[in-house]
Chain A
Amino acid sequence: MGTFVKFYIDGKECIARHGTQLVKAACENNIYIPTLCNYPGIPPKGACRICAVIVNDKAVTACTTKVSESIVVHNNTPELEKFRKSVVEMLLSEGNHFCPSCEKSGTCELQALAYRYRVTVSGFPYMFPFREIEAWHPKLMKDHNRCIQCKRCIRGIKNDQRKSIFAFGKRGTHVEINIDHDASEGISDELAQRSMDICPVGAILRKRKGFDVPIGRRKYDNKPIGSDL
């Protein structure tokens, strides 16, 4: 473990161990940096870019940045908040996000961020891409319409032999998640649940599960994401 260092977020003096992930360090100092592709305990990827911050005058992603002595971080600036709102809007445009019919509505992190930033409509054209739904797996379902390509499932879920259950296919706008037949065979209910939970949106679902919390009592119904800090 590194020694404690002092650093600054939006002028506020903060303390964390040297080398702590900036997102986590901010959190330890009660400062929220929005994230989407980041997930505690798995290696960061810097894919969604929503945690963009300015560190010593340079734009970086907070999930892939480590804290060091005296760094000066800008987080809650109008420019960055505008950019973050754009990230949410881009994601809403490039996929097919029909919240009213989604099992994850109310607990979805993309939706929660859209609420936080009060996204009424995307500033980008809705693309309505054709995307597949896969339902062959006995325990899992994949609705690619909702996938935001964050790689959390890829990075965070392996089977008992430490083999990949999920991996990317294709590239660019065609990127998709593939589920491995062999590696996912016979996965436990617990792992299936974990796969669903690690997905920030409703792209990976556990079969026969959903809509089990009434509207009004779901995770993000009453309090914005990040407000627990």
Chain B
Amino acid sequence: MKHDITSIIKRYNDDPTRLMDILIDVQSALGYLSDSTIEQIAKILDVSRVDVVQTVSFYHFFARAPRGKYTVYLNDSVVAGFYGRENVKEAFDAAAGIKFGEVTADGLIGLFNTPCIGMNDQEPAAIINERIFTKLTPAKARILISGMKAGKSIDQLMQEVLESNAKPSLKNSMIENNIIKKGAVIFSDYIPGSALKKVLNLSSLEVINIMKNAALRGRGGAGFPTGMKWDVARKIHSRTKYIFCNADEGEPGTFKDRVILTAMPKLVFEGMALAAYAVGARDGIFYLRNEYRYMREYLEGVLKEMRADRLLGTAICGKKGFDFDVRIQFGAGAYVCGEESALIESAEGKRGEPRDRPPFPVEKGYLQKPTVVNNVETFGSVVRIIQNGAAWYNGMGTEHSKGTKVLSISGDCANPGIYEVEWGFSVNDILKMAGAEDVQAVQIGGPSGSCIAPNEFGRILAYEDLATGGSLIIIGKNRDLLKDVVLNFQRFFADESCGSCVPCRALTVVCVKLMERVIEGKAAKTDLDDMISWAEIMKKNRCGLGQTAMNPVISTIKKFRELYDKKITAKDERFNPGFDLKSAVSDYDAIVGEK
């Protein structure tokens, strides 16, 4: 066992900045990271044990205790809830004879919850031993558990629950791509390498100017101009620069990167190579969320092919000095790592805590070197812009939002899936496309975005109106918006706060408590006023997660006030409705045996 650990760490040259890879590999060899394992890792890396613990304990896929030979991570996203997740959970519970959060006594099966795994179009879904199981039902849960008890392999388990009409997007998978509408930028015909060949005759500045002329903005949600970012990196003199692809798609409701990476991986890697050409970088790091670990072999294979085709590696397309390669860096379960500086910290083997800026990553990023971080979709767009020109790209979209956007549409609609549309479509257009009727609300851009009511469905998707990273969750009239959506989102933020900034760490938890009170009808009007006033406090958090972590409650109090008012039943303001004597003495009654 000790030998395993030593050889794994050797693989990463005893480098503490590769701690994430080391921990992932050690866990996959040994099943979990015991105290003594951590001790050994610390010893070999010559760091304190607590330094290893601080990374391990930050990420929810790292296990400090065994989590079962079969480990089920059942998604607990809002849309999973819409599609019967609770029944599936109960079926797992009953069949395995344990509760979620526990492992069977024989160590065979562990059941755990996990936040959105990027499968909103085929819920309820679960990760079982790094494989994704989609469209689960109570019956399938029972089949899976009995299969586990019979010692079946993960492939066998998958075969047993795979529906006959399923069209898996990858070998050994039951995930469907669900590309419903293809657009001109990402999902169109593509010959790998054509953009790379085209830039060989251009200077790095010319490439950047094309990006600037195309007015390409980052597709992760923040919308920073890509050309400008690259230009800063290009101008900095440094022998080492890094190109990062942010594939830590963690915003609940978003799954477009998953589909782009499955359908068009070369487009993305080629985009990274173009960025490398433009800024003068040789090393690319592809940070992929652990939920997508099932793609590892597939993507490694794609990279290998591209190296063989001289689209990566040394002397790309035969051009001397154009060297660039990509390695895949996995995360281990932390939404905040989607924030670019947290992602870099994580890639350095640390806790995914966002950094203070300045300096910006583009000045001092990975290992303090200039680092360009772009989203999967951004890199994809880059390739097309080189191929077809800035004017072509500029011809699509609105005045301030050029090109197309890949949308992840899920929830209460007939056709959940991927839609690539030009910027400027209205919410109404999109609802029609997706076949959604009787819509109560649409959550735009995930929990950190905003929840809009029907009177705003005429608004358009664009940076100048409804900016979005691409997730639209459609919420039908039959849903309990506060309980099924807002509370779920607020719990998500409380779980995913890194804990660095005081307002985010404290108020995400307080907010869950107050929302529970609202839902129970035990809140006062002043509780609502308080929560609204905290929006200002949250703006002073360091990162985007913290700044938006109360958006679910704030945006719904503003737009669905009547739902909240209905829950405020207390009449006499002298008494706090949050206090309930009956429940406050119920523990005591139980202890002394009083009915």
Show the binding face of A for B, using Cβ within 8 Å.
Answer: 44-50, 52, 59, 61, 64, 83, 86-87, 90-91, 93-94, 123-125, 127, 148-149, 163-175, 178-183
Contact = CB atoms under 8 A, between A and B. Distances in A.
B308 to A, nearest CB: 41
B506 to A, nearest CB: 4
B501 A47 contact: yes
Contact of A91 (B351, B495, B502, B508): B502
Contacts of B494: 172-173
Contacts of A45: 356, 500
Contacts of A90: 502-503, 506-507, 537
B58 A171 contact: yes
Given A47-B501, A172-B494, A178-B53, 5 more contacts: A87-B502, A124-B507, A169-B57, A172-B496, A173-B505
A86 B506 CA distance: 11
B351 A168 contact: yes
List the 6 shortest-distance A-B pairs measured between CB atoms, nearest first: A167-B50, A175-B499, A90-B506, A172-B497, A164-B48, A64-B356
7 contacts: A46-B356, A52-B540, A94-B506, A167-B48, A168-B58, A173-B506, A180-B48
Given A49-B540, A64-B356, A174 B54 contact: no
Nearest to A149: B499
Given A90-B507, A93-B510, A173-B508, A167 B502 contact: no
Given A124-B510, A127-B510, A178-B53, A172 B47 contact: no
B293 interface: no
B51 A94 contact: no
A166 B49 CA distance: 10
Interface residues of B, number: 37
Contacts of B509: 94, 127, 172-173
B287 to A, nearest CB: 18
Interface of B: 47-51, 53-54, 57-58, 334, 351, 356, 494-503, 505-510, 513-514, 530, 536-537, 539-542
B497 A171 contact: yes
A206 B356 CA distance: 32
Contacts of B508: 172-173
A63 to B, nearest CB: 9
B48 A163 contact: yes
Nearest to B537: A86
Contacts of B500: 45, 47, 149
A178 B54 contact: yes
A14 B505 CA distance: 35
Contacts of A48: 501-502
Main SS class of interface, A: mixed
Contacts, number: 126
A127 B513 CA distance: 9
A172 B57 CA distance: 11
Which of A52, A123, A166, A180 has the most C-beta atoms of chain B within 10 angstroms of its own C-beta?
A180
Contacts of B514: 125
Contacts of A44: 356
A94 B356 CA distance: 24
B501 A49 contact: yes
Given A61-B356, A171-B334, A181 B505 contact: no
A60 to B, nearest CB: 9
A44 B58 CA distance: 21
Contacts of A93: 506, 510
B506 A124 contact: yes
B507 A182 contact: no
A91 B351 CA distance: 22
A164 B48 CA distance: 6
A183 B50 contact: yes
B105 to A, nearest CB: 26
Contacts of B351: 168, 171
Nearest to B59: A171
Contact of B51 (A59, A127, A167, A175): A167
Contact of A49 (B48, B54, B498, B503): B503
Contacts of A47: 500-502
Given A49-B541, A59-B539, A168-B351, A178 B502 contact: no
A48 to B, nearest CB: 5
B356 A174 contact: no
A93 B505 CA distance: 11
Contacts of A59: 539-540
Contacts of B57: 169-171
A87 B47 CA distance: 34
A108 B48 CA distance: 29
B47 A164 contact: yes
B540 A171 contact: no
Contacts of A165: 48, 50
Contacts of B530: 123
B48 A46 contact: no
A90 B510 CA distance: 9
Contacts of A170: 57-58, 499
